[in-house]
Structure 1
Amino acid sequence: MPVAKYKPLFLIGLLLALASCERPSPPAAIEAGKATFNLTSYLQGQRQKLEADKPMVLKSVATQGREPEVVETMDVDWEDELAVFEEADLSRPSMQEYYTRQEQQLEDGSVAVAYTKREDAEPQVHFLRLVLGPDGKLRQLNASLQDQNIIFFSRRTIELHADPQTGDLSGYSVLGVQKMIFGDSLRYEVKANL
């Protein structure tokens, strides 16, 4: 049989194969032009500034209902201190499909953007709310994070405040509980003001 007979079928098959290899369009969770605030970039910039400026920090740490231990110090490991807030960054496109997004204009001209996890999704960040000033600078962050596997459970509620004029970090808090499968729950609270 002549090969020329099968050439059109081969070309159609090749076109179908190429079409199936196209990149899928990104999830439509974020409307066009509504970019997500890059929290990691913001925190890296703040970390560099804080490491250079070495501000005095009033920090309290409490565990299991004990009296908080309060310290005033300039010696802070900012990479470690801000790591939990980087976990709440949803600016990566791969994260968008797990959340619904709501935006609200506030009376002072700032915008509150809330991300809530979809019911069928199990990401680490269950809720994130950002308040951005009219200039696009971060003013406040609230988030709920949860990790769980067969041996470990952790839930944290985190909050971060920034100076409305400069957008620089002014305070933060972490309220959490963690439990190993064969141990007791440990509740803790960290608060810091700059």
Structure 2
Amino acid sequence: MAKYKPLLWIGLLLATVACERPVPPAAQEAGPGTFNLSSYLQEQRLRLEKEQPMVLKSVATQDHEPEVVETPDIDWEDELTVFEQADLSRPSLQEYYTRQEQVLEDGSKAIEFTKLEDAEPQVQYLRLVITPKGKLKQLNARLQDKNIIFFSRRAIELSTNPQTGNISDYRVEGVQKMIFGDSLRYEVQARL
């Protein structure tokens, strides 16, 4: 029986991870006055895959020096997935948040979503800054995922060129922990 114990733990781990919440599908209809982040990111992914811009990317994990690389070879679908998880444009998701809007000095609009106290959605906080022309200028969000064996918390930021609305840089800082392991802190930064 002892030789099967590791297989039992691996099976339990895989079964639990398979129960994680999937990324919500791209919103077909955005709620009133809501920026459709999934559509924006799909457009950006297609543009970036076509143009293949040079990217300066830094990846650091706790207690290690950052690894810096400059490359045009980026898997944009994988790279932008974490930002797509912050999309709250579906009306069914918005019931878990308070929403505040503010017009900034330059005419841009800041929209903040803060989760309700009793709600347990993945997106804890989201702030979008939209230019007067309706283009995304900046995104800041905090995401949290947890189940009985896995915990993950991430702070994400994305900035764009305000004239074109194209992604100019982004950052992901996070921590993840498996119940049977140590926590891992990491940071990813990229500039196009």
The CA distance in 1 between the partners of 2:144 and 2:88, in whole Å, is 15
Alignment partner, residue 162 of structure 1: 160
Q: Which residue of 1 aligns with 2:187?
A: 189
Q: TM-score, normalised by structure 2?
A: 0.83
Code of the aligned partner of 1:175: E
In structure 2, C-alpha distance between the alignment counterparts of 1:61 and 1:113, rounded to whole Å: 29
Q: Alignment partner for residue 116 of structure 1, among 105, 114, 119?
A: 114
1:139: Cα distance to partner? Answer: 0.3
Give secondary structure in 2 for the equivalent of 1:179. Answer: strand
Partner of 2:170: 172
What SS does the corresponding residue of 1:94 show, helix, strand or coil? Answer: helix
Give per-residue Cα distances to partners, 1:118-141, cap 9 Å, x unaligned. Answer: 001000000000000000100000
Q: Distance in 1 between matches of 2:63 and 2:188?
A: 12
Shift of 1:34: 4.0
Q: Distance in 1 between matches of 2:33 and 2:116?
A: 19
How far apart are residue 93 of structure 1 and its match? 1.1
Aligned residues: 162
Task: Give the corresponding residue for 2:67.
Answer: 69
Shift of 1:36: 1.1
Distance 1:83 1:35 in 2: 23
Deviation at 1:65, TM superposition (A): 2.9
- Structure 2, gaps ≥5 residues long: 1-30
* % same residue: 75
- 1:55-134 alignment to 2 at 5 Å? 55-134=53-132
Task: Tell me the secondary structure at the aligned position of residue 153 of structure 2.
Answer: strand
Unaligned runs of 5+ in 1: 1-32
Q: Which has the larger radius of gyration?
A: 1
Query: Counterpart of 1:154 in 2: which secondary structure?
Result: strand
Distance in 2 separating the partners of 1:52 and 1:44? 12
SS of corresponding position for 1:143:
strand
The root-mean-square deviation of aligned C-alpha atoms, in Å, is 0.9
Shift of 1:163: 0.3
Provide the TM-score with structure 1 as the length reference.
0.82
